[in-house]
Amino acid sequence: MPSPDQSLTVSELNRLVKQTLSEEEGLKNIWVKGEVSNYSQTASSGHMYFSLKDQASVIKCAFFSFQSKHYKGRPIKNGMELRVFGSISVYEPGGYYSFSVQKVEELGEGDILLQIEKLKQELATQGIFNMEHKKPLPKFPKRLGIVTSPKGAAVEDIIRIATDLNPTIQILVSPCIVQGDEAPASICQAIEALNDPKWDVDVIIAGRGGGSFEDLMAFNTKEVVLAYYKSRIPIISAVGHEIDRVLTDLSADATAPTPTAAAKLAIPNLSEILLKIEETEERLDYALKNLTLLYKEKLTGVYSRSVFQNPLAVLEPRYIATDDVMNRIMLLGKNYIMQKRNNFLRQDTIHEKMSSAFQKKIQSFELLHSRVEHFSPLGTLKRGFSVIRNEKKEVIQSIEQTKEGELLEIILEKGRLQAQVKEKMVSKL
């Protein structure tokens, strides 16, 4: 056993590993096949980096531009099944090994991606992704539920953003495992726990921060997708990915690209809402004041009309006309009497005979005078009668001149009334 004095530095150890792997003939010029994941390309250099995986393992690959420029196949993307030719290389400063690709052959779609696509088609056929099953998010939630790892940055980001937007929001975290073989069952249990009515949760954010394709596999499993779908409470899928969508995005009621975005989607900005309420209140107050002022001006205009200032002024022209008629009648009667009287005075011989007749004429005239005065418009109004006219100022003498719903004007001795015809009844007198 070597002594502690013979210990290697990290650089020496990595150099030794690189030398050992580089000299191993079984690791040179070999073919490796697997499914592509975590693909990326450096724009400036043209180098391609991706991983090849199978059901149990993953290996990093580098396809440098001086080799990739000869590749004529379809663009490499996640989920493709490839067979690559090359050798194992060691990146000494980083202390890890990778597969240096020299040549690429396309085999088709990978098994894992095909399985996900098959599950997607199956669930779509069952209507799991249909829009009519989506529940609307509450506008003003009081309690937020979070389903994610309690140790990740995702839960901290959600809590920070949610409390910034609404300091009064109540937050309940249902911790779970978000990757690995135990993740699907753990996520389902966490969602089910928050659906218990005793917690009174209004909306749930379920997901995790970013990760590789393999890290996100729990959110592509059937049991987790159905847990999102069956949630009684509206649920937001918040898996931190940028390119590929996980299946929970399709079964959730809403989707956000990151946990931070999910918090902003679930929680309204209380400060902005209060500001909008204040602005609305100011606009309503301004509108009500203007409306009140407008109606006040209209009311003042109505009150200033002469009919309201002096209602009797409406009848004054009619009073004058009536007095004029009476004066004419009186003048005609007096003239007639004077004429007859003169005639009687000229005829002294018949004075006595005509005296009694003259008295009768006087009596007849007085009776006529009283009747005229009695049946004059003013006299009729004084006895409690009234004159009814329609909107055309025509005097109503018969119910045939009216119709139901029509507005009528009733003229009294003192003032006027407006009435509406409700029912026409024929007198049986």
pLDDT tens profile 283-336: 999 999 899 888 888 888 777 776 666 666 666 777 788 878 888 888 888 888
pLDDT at 272: 87
Residues 151 and 249 reside in one and the same domain: yes
**260 domain residue, yes or no:** yes
- The tens digit of pLDDT for each residue in 46-84 reads 889 999 988 888 999 999 988 888 787 788 888 888 888
Residues 203 and 85 reside in one and the same domain: no
DSSP tag of 260 = H
**60 domain residue, yes or no:** yes
Residues 196 and 83 reside in one and the same domain: no
**18 domain residue, yes or no:** yes
- The tens digit of pLDDT for each residue in 29-42 reads 888 988 888 888 87
Which is nearest to 422 in space by CA: 407, 400, 411? 407
Strand, coil or helix: 50? strand
**337 domain residue, yes or no:** no
**1 domain residue, yes or no:** no
**pLDDT surpasses 60 at 110:** no
Q: What is the share, in percent, of the chain residues with pLDDT greater than 90?
A: 32
Residues 125 and 82 reside in one and the same domain: no
**Position of tokens 């991983």?**
51
pLDDT at 350: 63
**Residue 48 · residue 39 · CB < 8 Å:** yes
**pLDDT surpasses 60 at 242:** no
Please give the mean pLDDT across all residues of the chain. Answer: 85
Residues 254 and 162 reside in one and the same domain: yes
Q: What is the share, in percent, of the chain residues with pLDDT greater than 70?
A: 89
**pLDDT surpasses 90 at 19:** no
* Domain end point (choices 109, 134, 152): 109
Full 3-state SS string of 283-294: HHHHHHHHHHHH
Position 170 confidence tier, pLDDT thresholds 50, 70, 90: very high
Report how far residue 240's alpha carbon sits from residue 245's, in angstroms, rounded to the nearest whole number.
10
CATH number of 57's domain: 2.40.50.140
Count: domains in the chain: 4
- Give the pLDDT mean for 367-384: 72
CATH number of 217's domain: 3.40.50.10550
Residues 79 and 134 reside in one and the same domain: no
- The tens digit of pLDDT for each residue in 118-158 reads 899 999 999 999 999 999 999 999 999 999 999 888 899 99
Residues 92 and 221 reside in one and the same domain: no
**pLDDT surpasses 70 at 207:** yes
Structural domain containing residue 283: 271-304
Residues 32 and 126 reside in one and the same domain: no
* Domain end point (choices 82, 109, 136): 109
The DSSP element (H or E) to which 91 belongs, if any, is strand 80-91
Half-sphere exposure of 78 (CA within 13 A, CB side): 15
Nearest 5°: the CA angle 173, 179, 184 is 75
Residues 135 and 195 reside in one and the same domain: yes
**406 domain residue, yes or no:** yes
Residues 150 and 290 reside in one and the same domain: no
**367 domain residue, yes or no:** no
**357 domain residue, yes or no:** no
* Domain end point (choices 247, 268, 289): 268
- Give the pLDDT mean for 151-169: 91
Residues 102 and 124 reside in one and the same domain: no
Residues 81 and 170 reside in one and the same domain: no
**pLDDT surpasses 70 at 256:** yes
pLDDT at 152: 81
**pLDDT surpasses 80 at 208:** yes
| Best mean pLDDT range from 3-12, 156-165, 209-218 | 156-165
**Residue 29 · residue 85 · CB < 8 Å:** yes
Rg (CA), the chain: 52
